[in-house]
Amino acid sequence: MSPKDFDEANRTGWVKFARVYSNVISPPTMFATLGIAAAMHERPGWTGFAWGFGSGVMVSLVPILFVLYLLYTGRIAELHMSNTKERLMPYLSAILCVSIMLGVTWWWQGPDLLFGVLVFNLIELIALMLITLYWLISMHTTAAMATAVWVFLIWGTFWGIVIGLSLILSVSYVRLFLRRHTMAQVLAGLALGAITVLVLVPFGLTS
């Protein structure tokens, strides 16, 4: 079956709400917010915010603008790119942007936590791109689980449960409700999100 929100005429009521929720609580939004929070956790004040904001621009805003350009020029059919073949160029552009920001953070000695988030982003994007060559996986649930694990590792159990569980449950439900993904694709995304963060723990990149 096609996604509920694929046709514009169907984007009303709960379907419209779920689509808007997916567009707002999206991987770029989650990662931009996480980057700012992690940078300011290590370096409170304007210095941390500047690092986090710069990361958000490179890691989230620039790739989003590139996707919008592809949409405007007809290179992709719709924003959520259910056709996996359309995701290659956006993934490559995002990987390039994260690599540049990672180099900047390393060269100018940015916050270590932000560096860890960027390393995670790079690993996660490469993994998602490779998986997408063969199978559709939920990037939304990957991002939700990864954000939840980061919050747990940096801010502790309480916020990990309050923020993390809310993200995981709401994002998973919305993606299933819209029929953008199957249960297997949602669960695979959750697993990938957890693994790509936890693999960094032994290297001290998450604290």
pTM reported for the whole predicted model: 0.92
Residues with Cβ within 8 Å of 92's Cβ and at least 6 positions away in sequence, in order, are: 129
Q: Do the Cβ atoms of 203 and 54 come closer than 8 Å?
A: no
If one counts every other C-beta atom within 10 angstroms of the C-beta of residue 118, the result is: 27
Q: What residue ranges do the domains of the chain occupy? A: 8-203
Q: Residue 1's pLDDT is what?
A: 65
pLDDT of residue 124: 96
What's the pLDDT score for residue 105? 97
Tens digit of pLDDT at every position of the chain (207 positions): 688 887 877 888 999 999 999 999 999 999 999 999 999 999 999 999 999 999 999 999 999 999 999 989 988 877 777 777 888 899 999 999 999 999 999 999 999 999 999 999 999 999 999 999 889 999 999 999 999 999 999 999 999 999 999 999 999 999 999 999 999 999 999 999 999 999 999 999 988
What is the crossing angle of helices 112-132 and 88-107, to 10°?
Answer: 160
Lookup result for tokens 């919305």:
174
Dihedral sign for Cα atoms in the order 120, 125, 126, 131: positive
Distance CA 40, CA 155 (A): 12
φ, ψ at 75 (rounded to 5°): -75, -20
